């Protein structure tokens, strides 16, 4: 029933910006947390940021603090990830994921996943 669809990825130069969107459908998300993960080739999938649907509390990994902003629009069932000052190290497939309850860093604990959107930062 629950589906997540990411969009907004693309090719950007170092120092540029992108705005990713994750549209959720098929359920009510009051008790959920929504997270952005990313995975580069040959590397583990890692959490980037997370937000609680009900209260809007946020979490950021240290390597994106001050550059990325996660936000939500409950009326549109959409979570956003604004990415500024992009680096080549940010190149990865970015995934939207949902978990029932508080966020957690472990990707294996999430209940729903989108298909991913490619972000490529040129060096």
72 bridge partner residues = 79
Strands 3-7, 46-52: pairing kind? unpaired
Tokens of 17: 């910006």
Give the pLDDT mean for 36-61: 96
- Residue 26: the pLDDT is 92
- Residue 27: the pLDDT is 84
Provide, rounded to the nearest whole percent, the portion of the chain with pLDDT above 90: 93
DSSP at 26 = S
How far the first Cα of the chain sits from its last, in Å, is: 40
Query: For the segment 66-95, what is each residue's pLDDT rounded down to a tens digit?
Result: 999 999 999 999 999 999 999 999 999 999
Tokens of 54: 């009900």
Q: What's the rounded Cα separation, in Å, for the pair 46 and 90?
A: 11
């Amino acid at each position: 029933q629950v589906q997540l669809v990411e969009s907004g990825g693309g090719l950007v130069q170092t120092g540029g910006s992108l705005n990713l969107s994750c549209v959720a459908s098929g359920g009510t998300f009051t008790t959920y947390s929504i997270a952005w993960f990313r995975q580069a080739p040959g590397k583990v999938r890692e959490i980037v940021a997370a937000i609680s649907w009900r209260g809007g509390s946020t979490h950021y990994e240290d390597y994106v603090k001050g550059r990325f902003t996660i936000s939500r629009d409950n009326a549109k069932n959409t979570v956003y990830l604004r990415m500024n000052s992009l680096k080549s190290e940010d190149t990865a497939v970015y995934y939207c994921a949902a978990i029932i309850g508080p966020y957690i860093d472990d990707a294996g604990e999430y209940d729903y996943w989108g298909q991913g959107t490619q972000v490529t930062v040129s060096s």
